[in-house]
A and B are shown apart, each in its own frame.
Chain A
């Protein structure tokens, strides 16, 4: 009911905003994902206009670069840097969506990804033949993603009644509980050792265990996740979600089901995290409790914050920087000191730019004089 009403309101509103930006009546609903200068083709159908809004020339440049990348990079850079960044980025994107657009910081996104990864190993094939059911991979993946999404919804349903730091605490508790469950349960999760030899499938001669095919698979999933978020935050559901983030009481009094919207946001984020989890289990060829321990849960938060939570691309930028640092910091400083470099860079980025890498980018553009607000709402824009 409420969504339909909102859609009606927004249809008139959206038409107006394209001509009259920042109309007073709509000012408290921020169109975060919207490029500020969209290429609007006059007199076009709604679908094509949306496409034009989403795909600007610079997108094509980035897209071509991403597609050409594995052809010029070494297998190591394609697989370990490229594919891993895309997989981790997708999980971090689920947190960006929840945190940036829904105002709910969940630490359990890695847990959702881990549930999906574990289920792929349990339903599919692995070294633990006594546990794995050996289903065909499409069925295993489908069930794994579906159940992980359900689990994410349940986590959401449990934690939406809390705010701020309490959401972080409750999702942390859920994540840690699942970690111990996986570590101590032997009948289902195979305890400390977990599952080895969980391999990506090969379809018609295309072996996804190879670096380049796996990179394209990860790229496909990452792009799907990215555009899903871009579309969703402009859709009535996303707009309502952002409204709830900014003023839940007001949205409630306007007739929106606040809890339902928040739980739905967890479900959508869970879907993305689950797909990211399947990618990561195929990437590692294995899963064990160490994959989803507290450190891994916090890494996802670091990636999201590092990149910036104002825009979905931040998750992927953060993941690239994170993966590069994890791999190459040890070459800069010898021995055990290399974690100091990783921590130092994180600290510097967050210290100088509360909006992460995206904030730095906006800062540079502003310095160059071509700046324009990163955010459509001037109040939230860094001065």
Chain B
């Protein structure tokens, strides 16, 4: 009897509480924003850090934007485009989010851009995807990208390599969209200024055995251009060392990361001076960057020692989305016209340089050229040697010149001789 009574009392109380909460929620309007990252599959850890970046942007605004409480509707993919579109569709069509942030990886970005065209009433903002095709080819009018992409990240590295005296390089890169873009970003200026890429070795993603690639490395080159990521980079380095290779290296944006810097082989010292480039670097010496790192560390005890590339990219894209909401005071009416105008006019100082976009809704931003340097405590880090501001998606070329070169692929650009 007592139990029954308690049960009824609880139910009544619960119902009353629910009503009261409902009332409160009406008083303070909530706006849902979809947030897609890879919480499964090979990019689960980067995806998680991407979400941290988005959470951080919202926390800095105390969970509010445009006078409304912001609620993230989180969805996940496993880095396959199919899953990215399914997850996006769920957030957009089922949870009815008016703004969608994501995805993480390049080919997902192209798939989501294609889906965006079928949902003109929703605004899509990139997460950290960096494929050229998402904004250069057949862009969607409602897809925005506030981060620069793979090719832009390598601009300036070509000149830097020439300045170091590397006139002939041999390329080893993974065989998919992102490295194509990276290599194009490097070669566009490198080839124009007289550098030669004598041959290209495209290896499948996840290659374990590099013996055949290493055997083909010519004797008379000045350096290796290595655009590999994660375990592929470590495997290549180890095997190149064992085979007695001694050429200096130039790295892609995700090649010389912490896993590679912690590499314990005999050749570790030879990593010193390895040049690479990217949209951010751990050692940027500005107040904005230091505040960003401090905020990240304070908010996420379970996070990385320093925000990853993905946390940074999700952060700036989310911040742009929320700032524009503030500008229009939460007004998403009239097919989000005012909101999209505000997005287009975005211009703020991000942690690693100004954030603004071009007429294709892709960022025009800063790239950092770094070199591996030894810290006083003996650990290795990427020291910023130079920053290149205002890089457009056409890599500083005119539209006509860029069109003539075409998008980066296995054979484009080419300067063997």
Contacts and interface: CB of A to CB of B under 8 A. Distances in A.
Interface of A: 74-77, 79-80, 84, 180, 183-184, 186, 191-193, 196-197, 284-286, 288, 290-291, 293, 295, 326-327, 330, 334-336, 338-339
Given A186-B410, A336-B48, A80 B111 contact: no
Contact of B89 (A80, A184, A193, A334): A80
A192 B177 contact: yes
A330 B81 contact: no
Contacts of B104: none
B94 interface: yes
Nearest to A78: B93
B107 A288 contact: yes
B78 A288 contact: no
B408 to A, nearest CB: 12
Nearest to A283: B82
B90 interface: yes
A335 B93 contact: no
Interface in B49-88: 51, 74-76, 78-83, 85-86
Looking at B79, B90, B175, the one whose CB has the most chain A CB atoms below 10 A away is B90
Nearest to A192: B176
Given A290-B82, A335-B48, A339-B40, 19 more contacts: A76-B90, A77-B94, A80-B94, A84-B86, A184-B175, A186-B410, A192-B205, A193-B107, A193-B177, A284-B81, A285-B114, A286-B82, A288-B81, A290-B80, A293-B80, A295-B78, A326-B86, A335-B51, A338-B76
B204 interface: yes
Contacts of A326: 86
A336 B40 CA distance: 7
B89 A330 contact: no
B318 to A, nearest CB: 16
A268 to B, nearest CB: 27
A293 B79 CA distance: 12
A193 B176 contact: yes
Contacts of A77: 94
A197 B39 CA distance: 26
Nearest to A186: B410
Given A284-B82, A330-B74, A334-B74, A196 B111 contact: yes
A106 to B, nearest CB: 22
Contacts of B83: 290
A330 B73 CA distance: 10
A284 B107 contact: no
Contact of A74 (B76, B78, B85, B94): B94
A184 B80 contact: no
Contacts of A197: 114
Interface residues of B, number: 31
Contacts of B44: 336
A95 B51 CA distance: 38
Contacts of A186: 410
A77 B78 CA distance: 22
A228 B400 CA distance: 57
B74 A335 contact: yes
A75 B39 contact: no
Nearest to B40: A339
B111 A286 contact: yes
Contacts of B75: 330
A80 B85 CA distance: 10
Contacts of A193: 107, 176-177
Given A286-B81, A288-B81, A336-B39, A327 B90 contact: yes
A18 B107 CA distance: 58
A108 to B, nearest CB: 19
12 contacts: A74-B94, A80-B93, A183-B204, A191-B176, A192-B177, A197-B114, A286-B114, A288-B82, A295-B41, A330-B75, A330-B76, A336-B76
B206 to A, nearest CB: 9
A9 B283 CA distance: 83
Contacts of B85: 284-286
Contacts of B51: 335
A290 B81 CA distance: 8
Given A184-B204, A288-B81, A334-B74, A196 B93 contact: no
A197 B261 CA distance: 41
Contacts of A80: 86, 89-90, 93-94
